[in-house]
Structure 1
């Protein structure tokens, strides 16, 4: 019995030792199996770390890598690590954001405009202007410009200015004015769509108006009747033309005809030449028109005249005045005159 008891104790100790060894091997195997190898890419730098338990943040910490606030990690920091996992880090770089006229440099690891604006909680409405576009990419130190666009409907009362209407009358002397109807301003209620960019007004469009009081036109009558002062008193005229005047007589020197010529002393109208007959360009003054010739150099007026003749050199605003004496023709020469066409 005593021998049996010693054998039982021996086997019990041996079994316990074997069990302990097995447990140690199992713990070692489990511990070894929980070990994860992770690669961290930080730009051009690669770091390999071994992590038994933990998440991505623990792996980065174990790799002695410091993250800045706006750096970007390819895998969420709270994700559990897996063997063979590759964690990529994108470092933040500076870009400029111009918002409401103010320029600010910020750090970001994002490339697309939309992602950068979201990162900094910049809300963009459909009407706002963003340059470059939301889906465009920006490089280091480039600028994103955001122009905030707002619209406002504004209502206000406005004066409607009256119109001035001029009526010309040949029954009223030239230079005289009569007020036929007093003008009065009107009033309207107008609605405008006002567009602002970064708080500054850039456009204003009338979208609706309601006339409260209609304006009343001002009607003015202006005289067109011309008069010329003559020895017979003031005579009404249709038109006044400033012309260059010369003189002629019936001699061969002026007309190219000698006495005895059937057309000697006969005008283009077929009338006999005489003082008061003048030669004109019929395209300017029709033949048969009654005229008054006023001197503009202070000399005596030629006076009343009749357009009955023409001349080869009389074109446009030129007029030839008939005198009976060659001496008077030579004395007259060339002068500026005002030719009045009589009614």
Structure 2
């Protein structure tokens, strides 16, 4: 028949050394367990950084134990429900106010996000492929900043445009210089233009030509211009010339006041070329107009032109673009005076 030992009898039956070992092992396990729960944690907030030894299991538990106030808009990294581990670094980002412009809407918002990109993600702002964000997504946010989302849209516009005609010049030596004739009327053409228009916040910022198609070709205007040096004189005669010069004209006679010679003087009335002076003879600077040149003197002030002339004389005061016209009597010479004329050097 079985019998049971009492408490004292039981202890007598158990190896005392073994019992002590078990108790020691249990104590050791508890100690290791407590050490495992003990963690070194860093908390960064309000410009401070604190190292804390804690047995707290979550971020929220530790923050509450430390008496740190966290507002709803503040951001804690890692999150409040995250389990604490050895060397966990907790950063509390304090919320601040910024201005957000989205398209044409502007509002003040409170955020604790660190960068523009984080803000966009938190607000769940959907960005189109061509939308722009200013400043750059990687920019760090600071209190008072303004973040702008520029909504970019595009459209295709098709319109018709007139194509101006070109003018083609044809030169004709048989026509008098300055004469023009229209040989063909110009007609504008028409083209279809496909435009790509870009808008930023509904305001047009760019207009680019994507494609052009000619619907109707333009017809060029053709103008004929005379290049022949043909002069029509006051009498209606046509004369070809090789050069035209605007000159200052004066008038002279064969008398003593103009030449310093009197009748009876062997050189009275004799030109620098040795010819007898007569109406139509003019004095020139031979360096400008060679002696013997045939000329036509045209008035520029609506008075009668001097007409056809011959460069046969010279004069001490006739230098450069100056010409002296011979008149038979002094009253005509005085009436002419000095004036600008156009001198044609004839072929």
- The interval holding the TM-score normalised by the smaller chain is 0.5 to 0.7
8 A Cα contact 1:291 1:307, kept in partner: no
RMSD of aligned residue pairs (Cα, Å) = 4.7
Distance in 2 between residues matched to 1:153 and 1:51, nearest whole Å = 65
Distance in 2 between residues matched to 1:138 and 1:309, nearest whole Å = 94
Shift in CA distance, 284/73, structure 1 to aligned 2, threshold 3 Å: farther
Distance in 1 between residues matched to 2:318 and 2:72, nearest whole Å = 97
Structure 2 residue 91 is matched with structure 1 residue 88: yes
Number of the residue aligned with 1:296? 301
Shift in CA distance, 61/183, structure 1 to aligned 2, threshold 3 Å: same
Give the deviation of 1:152 after TM superposition: 5.2
Residue 339 (structure 2) aligned to one of 335, 338, 341: 335
8 A Cα contact 1:236 1:342, kept in partner: no
Shift in CA distance, 35/333, structure 1 to aligned 2, threshold 3 Å: closer
- Comparing 269-278 with 76-85, which one deviates more in the overlay? 76-85
Residue by residue over 1:132-167, the C-alpha shift from the partner in whole angstroms, topping out at 9 and shown as x without a partner, is 433333432233344444555555443322123344
Distance in 1 between residues matched to 2:61 and 2:334, nearest whole Å = 123
Number of the residue aligned with 1:245? 249
Distance in 1 between residues matched to 2:34 and 2:213, nearest whole Å = 87
Distance in 2 between residues matched to 1:148 and 1:170, nearest whole Å = 65
Give the 3-state SS of the residue equivalent to 2:213 in structure 1.
strand
Distance in 1 between residues matched to 2:206 and 2:284, nearest whole Å = 61
Length, aligned pairs only = 323
Number of the residue aligned with 2:313? 309
Structure 2 residue 78 is matched with structure 1 residue 79: no
Give the deviation of 1:90 after TM superposition: 1.2
Gaps of 5+ in 2: 11-22
Structure 2 residue 238 is matched with structure 1 residue 236: yes
Distance in 2 between residues matched to 1:149 and 1:47, nearest whole Å = 46
Give the 3-state SS of the residue equivalent to 2:190 in structure 1.
strand
Q: TM-score when scaled to structure 1?
A: 0.68
Gaps of 5+ in 1: 13-21
Matches within 5 A, 1:171-320: 178-221=181-224, 227-229=232-234, 233-236=235-238, 242-250=246-254, 254-255=258-259, 265-269=269-273, 271-281=275-285, 287=291, 288-294=293-299, 296=301, 298=303, 301-320=305-324
Give the 3-state SS of the residue equivalent to 1:319 in structure 2.
strand
Give the 3-state SS of the residue equivalent to 1:118 in structure 2.
helix
8 A Cα contact 2:165 2:187, kept in partner: yes
